[in-house]
Amino acid sequence: MRTLITGASSGLGAGMAREFAARGHDLALAARRLDRLEALRDELAPTGVRVAVAALDVDDHDAVFATVRALRDELGGLDRVVVNAGLGKGAPIGTGRFDANLATARTNFVSALAQCEVAMEIFREQGAGHLVVVSSVAADRGLRGAQTTYAATKAALSHLAEGIRVDVAGTPIRVTTLAPGFIRTDLNEGMTMPFAVDAVTGARAMADAVERAPAFAYVPTWPWSVLGRVLRVMPTPILRRVT
């Protein structure tokens, strides 16, 4: 299995890389911080898998196409692409931080669209492949404050993945949407997150879900497969209090 992961220099991207390497996957890893990718490649060397790395800012859409194709060529093909790179910053709408909300919208949706485009071009050409889109449990509802734009982008991303899935239904191309719950990484250190799991547990749950290749999966399954459904029907006053 040849798996490409974007946003692989830290957090869940790096965690999934470690999990897949332990399972014998050859890897293509892309992120802005090449030094971290190179350190991760060296860390994974004892596993014996091939690890190709490349610097990539996913907001440079021309670079997304060029880099993913180059990594494909380096590994001799790609069986799976994990669209993982994203941002979590934002501010309440109308509070003067359009810049932060725009950056989140651009990276989490428009740049994810570019990654899906090039991945699907490769899979259509090959006649097979597995596209994995990392959304969030936040996609289930509109959220308040700094999470408003983030939740909206993740909802859009989930719909994008579903549309692609419908488009290629009945073919050897599979599309999986992952909706992680609260997983502690260096990006959210200090935040209050009920039912949170550590990064190693979260990355393992995500890798397990990816290997099953369902259409959609909450990760970890418990308690988010229940809480996600509850969130969808929660009355607005309660939603405001709990979020």
Give dist(CA 220, CA 222) in Å, integer: 5
Which of 150, 182, 218, 224 is the catalytic position? 150
> Which is nearest to 139 in space by CA: 54, 207, 228?
228
150 is catalytic: yes
- As annotated, the active-site residues are 150
